[in-house]
Structure 1
Amino acid sequence: MTRYHRQKGATFERMIADYLAKWVDDRIDRRVKTGAKDRGDIAGLRHMGQRVVLECKNTAKTLLGPWSAEAEVERGNDDALAGLIVHKRHGKGRPEDQWVTLTVGELVALLTASREHYDAE
Structure 2
Amino acid sequence: MPEARRRNHRSARQAGTRFERDIADHLARWVDDRIDRRVKTGANDRGDIGGVRLSPALANGRVVIECKNTTRLALGTWAAETAAERGNDDAVAGLTVHKRHGVSDPGAQWVTCTVNDLVALLTGHRPEDPA
Tell me, what secondary structure is at the counterpart of 1:46? coil
* Matching of residues 81-96 of structure 1 within 5 Å: 81-96=92-107
Counting matched residue pairs gives 119
Runs of 4+ off more than 4 Å: none
Q: Could you tell me how far apart the structure 2 residues matched to 1:97 and 1:12 are?
A: 12
Does the alignment pair 1:6 with 2:16? Answer: no
Which structure shows the higher strand fraction?
1
Give the TM-score, by structure 1 length. 0.94
- Residue from 15, 26, 30 that aligns with 1:19: 26
Which residue in 2 is equivalent to 1:68? Answer: 79
Q: Could you tell me how far apart the structure 1 residues matched to 2:20 and 2:71 are?
A: 16
- Residue from 61, 68, 89 that aligns with 1:78: 89
Gaps of 5+ in 2: 1-7
Does the alignment pair 1:118 with 2:128? Answer: yes
- Residue from 43, 48, 56 that aligns with 1:41: 48
Aligned-residue offset at 1:2: 1.2
Q: Radius of gyration: which is bigger?
A: 2
Tell me, what secondary structure is at the counterpart of 1:47? coil
Percent of paired sites with the same residue: 65
Q: Could you tell me how far apart the structure 1 residues matched to 2:99 and 2:31 are?
A: 20
Gaps of 5+ in 1: none
